[in-house]
């Protein structure tokens, strides 16, 4: 039966709502934090991808989180996604979410409270009756901020079924319009999921008026299977993240659920708002921003997802791709013609390529910088692939407003000589130089950066990957820095590994500065740049 929902109006029974939590559940996992600009960029990409609801953050968590939720709320008009903010079941959290969401054209207050005996006893120290009262109180308050309120039963999949029914009934009576049952610890099997939702649908009065939602974690590698089982049991909202990022082993991966629905439409006859051709671009943007690539064999977006290595498979694919491909690479944004531009290509061809890769129109400055980098790479590299263009554009777009810019680098190294590096930075428009020797060219470069712009941080990770194959391939370097327990990751790419390393270090440094500024009290912010 069709549901009338405050944000979506009349919902067809076969429409699946995609609730994306990349910017909240995904962002809160170690090493995945993003600054405001990165979150805004990601939010734009998620909206272009077609997510219906975007959880922008946890407004009460920090001033930075509040600002992110507020800025994302401001960003979208009525035809954009619903913007959500998470809150625990207390007035301070809910009011913070309500306040941050005020500028949103479409908004959702999301309230979570644990319902399993274990969580209630150990974590909340609340009785069942107290939890029921808190649900009523918190959802009622949530409704004073928005007609669209989602209530989540944390550890719902390990909750006593009778008590879960009472909790859901209380939330619906208080005005919740979406009921989400998370498998918080990733413990469930698909049949458990189906049973939970069938039970709720059979037993809870008023359940037919709300949207049921599943939020699955991947601790046993079953998040996507559990999500599909939930859909088959009547769930019409699924919560997921790009690349499956999230707490511990992550959440159900958006791209896998979306493509399961598209590819197996015969068994799963549902509609979504996802433009699947934008999946790869969104996945790559997230990898660039966070510094974490997906594993090569990751379904849909991994480098090998459409690669055919064995002779038998290659032969089959050449004769008819459907022999070994259940979906086309193009349907998720891979390009078959990945050999692209050369050193003679002009700005117009470059701009066309960017459009074809789904980047739309870059601003003039970003386009000029990206084109300059492209020319530089085209001069050094025999062939420039789509992956190369994507890596350099992601670098430029992500880095548009950096306060520290790498403007010069010279390195000398060799057998039996002490590596030396000299670095030029532009810090808020001012030139600053550094020169140092080190235990290797990368070490010398990082020390020279610290000379040009003195700061004290711990280097926690240094990793190099190649963007494409061959000795002239671009290197993509990830650098993780730590300051007072806060971790940031930076990324850089270039055909020269040392240049890519310097870019990655400077990128991480900029993220650290942005973090410092967001957490410093107002009177400190002006001086936050001086290390
Ligand atoms: O996993 C979980 O229980 C959550 C809730 C906040 C929805 O992320
Ligand atoms: Zn979660």
What's the confidence (pLDDT) of residue 518? 58
The residue contributing the CA closest to ligand 1 atom 1 is 184
Atom of ligand 1 nearest to the CA of 21: 8
Cβ atoms of 156 and 171 closer than 8 Å: no
Residue-wise pLDDT tens digits, 12-48: 999 999 999 999 999 988 878 888 988 999 999 999 9
Q: How far is the CA of 275 from the centre of ligand 2 (A)?
A: 24
Sequence-distant contacts of 518-523: CB under 8 A, at least 24 apart: 518/35, 518/36, 518/62, 518/63, 518/64, 518/67, 519/62, 519/63, 519/64
Q: Which of 24, 151, 152 to mutate to test the pocket of ligand 1 (most atoms within 8 A of CB)?
A: 152
Spatial neighbors of 511 by CB under 8 A, at least 6 apart, are 35, 38, 488, 489, 490
What's the confidence (pLDDT) of residue 99? 98
What's the confidence (pLDDT) of residue 282? 94
Q: How far is the CA of 315 from the centre of ligand 1 (A)?
A: 46
pLDDT exceeds cutoff 50 at 269 = yes
Bridge partners, residue 85, by sequence: 57, 109
Q: How far is the CA of 260 from the centre of ligand 1 (A)?
A: 23
Residue-wise pLDDT tens digits, 129-138: 999 999 999 9
Atom of ligand 1 nearest to the CA of 246: 8
For residue 213, the ligand closest to its alpha carbon is: 1
Q: Which of 138, 216, 217 to mutate to test the pocket of ligand 1 (most atoms within 8 A of CB)?
A: 217
Report angle CA 79, 399, 396 to the nearest 5 degrees. Answer: 85
Bridge partners, residue 178, by sequence: 150, 211
**Cα-to-chain-centroid distance, residue 350:** 27
pLDDT exceeds cutoff 80 at 217 = yes
pTM value?
A: 0.78
pLDDT exceeds cutoff 70 at 378 = yes
The beta strand positions in 272-419, using DSSP E, are 404-412
Taking the C-alpha atoms of residue 53 and residue 76, their distance in angstroms, rounded to an integer, is: 11
Q: Is 215 annotated as a binding residue?
A: yes
Max mean pLDDT among 49-53, 304-308, 339-343, 411-415 falls in 49-53
291: left (phi over 0), alpha (psi -120 to 50) or beta: left
Radius of gyration in angstroms for the set of CA atoms belonging to the chain, rounded to a whole number: 25
pLDDT exceeds cutoff 50 at 529 = no
Mean pLDDT of 342-347: 80
Atom of ligand 1 nearest to the CA of 251: 1
Q: How far is the CA of 85 from the centre of ligand 1 (A)?
A: 12
Residue-wise pLDDT tens digits, 79-101: 999 999 999 999 999 999 999 99
Query: Which DSSP string do the residues of 478-492 spell out, in sequence order?
Result: EEEEEETTEEEEEEE
Q: What is the DSSP letter of 344?
A: T
Q: Is 145 annotated as a binding residue?
A: no
pLDDT exceeds cutoff 80 at 501 = yes
Q: How far is the CA of 183 from the centre of ligand 1 (A)?
A: 8
Atom of ligand 1 nearest to the CA of 154: 3
Spatial neighbors of 110 by CB under 8 A, at least 6 apart, are 55, 84, 85, 86, 87, 97, 149, 150, 152, 180
What's the confidence (pLDDT) of residue 236? 98
Q: Which of 182, 217, 239, 241 to mutate to test the pocket of ligand 1 (most atoms within 8 A of CB)?
A: 182
Give the CA-trace dihedral at 452, 457, 460, 464, to 10 degrees: -20
What's the confidence (pLDDT) of residue 339? 47
CA distances from 58 to 54, 55, 76, 101, 467 (A): 12, 8, 18, 11, 34
Atom of ligand 1 nearest to the CA of 180: 7
Mean pLDDT of the chain: 90
What's the confidence (pLDDT) of residue 190? 98
**Equal fold, 25-290 vs 404-524:** no
Taking the C-alpha atoms of residue 447 and residue 460, their distance in angstroms, rounded to an integer, is: 15
The residue contributing the CA closest to ligand 1 atom 6 is 112
Residue 82 has φ and ψ, to the nearest 5°, of -75, 135
Mean pLDDT of 505-524: 70
Taking the C-alpha atoms of residue 300 and residue 332, their distance in angstroms, rounded to an integer, is: 7
Give counts: helices (H), strands (E), the chain. Answer: 17, 16
What's the confidence (pLDDT) of residue 454? 93
What's the confidence (pLDDT) of residue 336? 59
Atom of ligand 1 nearest to the CA of 239: 7
Q: Is 507 annotated as a binding residue?
A: no
Atom of ligand 1 nearest to the CA of 25: 8
Confidence band, pLDDT 50/70/90 cuts, at residue 242: very high
pLDDT exceeds cutoff 70 at 250 = yes
Query: Which DSSP string do the residues of 268-282 spell out, in sequence order?
Result: ---B----GGGHHHH
What's the confidence (pLDDT) of residue 345? 80
What's the confidence (pLDDT) of residue 356? 73
pLDDT exceeds cutoff 50 at 522 = no
Cβ atoms of 211 and 237 closer than 8 Å: yes
For residue 214, the ligand closest to its alpha carbon is: 1
What's the confidence (pLDDT) of residue 485? 78
> Which residues' Cβ are closer than 6 Å to ligand 1?
25, 86, 112, 152, 154, 182, 184, 215, 217
pLDDT exceeds cutoff 50 at 526 = no
Q: How far is the CA of 185 from the centre of ligand 2 (A)?
A: 8
What's the confidence (pLDDT) of residue 348? 81
The least confident of 180-184, 356-360, 385-389, 408-412 is: 356-360
**Of 271, 397, 390, the residue nearest 334 (C-alpha):** 390
For residue 61, the ligand closest to its alpha carbon is: 1
What's the confidence (pLDDT) of residue 396? 67
Taking the C-alpha atoms of residue 114 and residue 527, their distance in angstroms, rounded to an integer, is: 42
Pairing of strands 149-154, 107-114: parallel
CA distances from 424 to 214, 403, 531 (A): 51, 14, 17
The residue contributing the CA closest to ligand 1 atom 2 is 184
Q: How far is the CA of 261 from the centre of ligand 2 (A)?
A: 22
What's the confidence (pLDDT) of residue 489? 78
Q: How far is the CA of 337 from the centre of ligand 1 (A)?
A: 41
Domain ranges of the chain: 25-290, 335-398, 404-524
Cβ atoms of 104 and 76 closer than 8 Å: yes
Bridge partners, residue 486, by sequence: 483
Q: Say which CATH class 404-524 falls into.
A: alpha beta
Pairing of strands 3-5, 178-183: unpaired
For residue 115, the ligand closest to its alpha carbon is: 1
What's the confidence (pLDDT) of residue 525? 33
Spatial neighbors of 55 by CB under 8 A, at least 6 apart, are 19, 20, 21, 23, 24, 25, 84, 85, 86, 110, 239
Which contiguous run of DSSP H or E holds residue 161? helix 161-174
Max mean pLDDT among 96-100, 329-333, 382-386, 474-478 falls in 96-100
Q: How far is the CA of 97 from the centre of ligand 2 (A)?
A: 18
Q: Is 25 annotated as a binding residue?
A: yes
Atom of ligand 1 nearest to the CA of 182: 3
The least confident of 202-216, 353-367, 411-425 is: 353-367
Q: Which of 19, 94, 112 to mutate to test the pocket of ligand 1 (most atoms within 8 A of CB)?
A: 112
Give the number of residues written for the chain. Answer: 531
Q: How far is the CA of 186 from the centre of ligand 2 (A)?
A: 9
Confidence band, pLDDT 50/70/90 cuts, at residue 121: very high
The residue contributing the CA closest to ligand 1 atom 8 is 25
Residue-wise pLDDT tens digits, 419-477: 999 999 999 999 999 999 999 999 999 999 999 999 999 998 898 887 766 777 788 88
What's the confidence (pLDDT) of residue 530? 29
Cβ atoms of 68 and 37 closer than 8 Å: no
Taking the C-alpha atoms of residue 98 and residue 102, their distance in angstroms, rounded to an integer, is: 6
The residue contributing the CA closest to ligand 1 atom 5 is 154
Q: How far is the CA of 471 from the centre of ligand 2 (A)?
A: 41
Report the percent of the chain where pLDDT is more than 70. Answer: 92
Pairing of strands 3-5, 9-11: antiparallel
**CATH number for the segment(s) 25-290:** 3.20.20.70
């Amino acid at each position: 039966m069709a549901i009338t929902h405050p944000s979506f109006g009349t919902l067809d029974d076969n429409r699946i709502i995609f609730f994306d939590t990349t910017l909240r559940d995904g962002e809160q996992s170690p090493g995945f934090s993003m600054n405001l600009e990165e979150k805004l960029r990601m939010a734009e990409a998620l909206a272009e991808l077609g997510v219906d609801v975007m959880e922008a953050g946890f407004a009460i968590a920090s001033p930075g989180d509040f600002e992110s939720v507020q800025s994302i709320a401001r960003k979208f008009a009525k035809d954009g996604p619903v913007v959500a903010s998470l809150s625990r079941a207390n007035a301070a959290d809910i009011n913070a979410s309500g306040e941050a969401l005020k500028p949103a054209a479409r908004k959702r207050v999301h309230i979570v409270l644990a319902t399993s005996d274990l969580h209630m006893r150990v974590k909340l120290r609340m009785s069942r009756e107290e939890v029921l009262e808190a649900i009523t109180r918190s959802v009622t308050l949530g409704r004073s901020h928005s007609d669209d309120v989602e209530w989540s039963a944390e550890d719902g999949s390990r909750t006593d079924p009778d008590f879960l029914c009472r909790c859901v009934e209380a939330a619906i009576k208080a005005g919740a319009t979406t009921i989400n049952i998370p498998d918080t610890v990733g413990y469930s099997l698909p049949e458990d999921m189906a049973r939970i939702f069938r039970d709720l649908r059979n037993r809870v009065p008023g359940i037919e008026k709300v949207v049921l939602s599943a939020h699955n974690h991947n601790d046993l590698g079953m998040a996507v299977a559990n999500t599909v089982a939930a859909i088959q049991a009547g769930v019409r909202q699924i919560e997921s993240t790009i690349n499956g990022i999230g707490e511990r082993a992550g959440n159900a991966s958006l791209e896998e659920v979306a493509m399961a629905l598209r590819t197996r439409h015969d068994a799963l006859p549902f509609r979504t708002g996802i433009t699947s051709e934008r999946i790869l671009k969104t996945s790559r943007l997230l990898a660039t921003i966070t510094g974490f690539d997906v594993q090569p064999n990751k379904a849909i977006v991994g480098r090998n997802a459409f690669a055919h290595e064995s002779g038998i498979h290659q032969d089959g694919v050449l004769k008819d791709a459907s022999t070994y491909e259940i979906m086309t690479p193009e349907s998720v944004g891979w390009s078959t013609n990945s050999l692209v531009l050369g050193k003679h290509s002009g700005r117009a061809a470059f701009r066309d390529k960017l459009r074809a890769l789904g980047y739309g129109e870059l601003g003039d400055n970003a386009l000029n910088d990206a084109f300059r980098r492209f020319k530089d790479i085209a001069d050094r590299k025999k062939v420039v692939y789509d992956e190369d263009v994507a890596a350099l554009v992601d670098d430029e777009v992500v880095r548009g407003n950096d306060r520290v810019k790498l403007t010069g680098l010279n390195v000398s190294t060799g057998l039996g000589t002490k590596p030396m590096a000299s670095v030029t930075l532009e810090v808020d428009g001012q030139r600053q130089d550094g020169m140092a020797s080190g235990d290797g060219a990368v070490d010398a470069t990082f020390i020279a950066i610290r000379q040009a712009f003195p700061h004290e941080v711990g280097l926690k990770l240094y990793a190099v990957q190649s963007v494409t194959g061959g000795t002239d391939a671009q290197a993509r370097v990830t650098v993780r820095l730590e300051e007072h327990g806060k971790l940031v990751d930076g990324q850089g790419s270039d055909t020269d590994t040392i240049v890519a390393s310097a870019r990655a270090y400077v990128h991480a440094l900029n993220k650290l500065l942005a973090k410092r500024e967001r957490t410093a009290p107002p009177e400190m912010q002006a001086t936050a740049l001086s290390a």
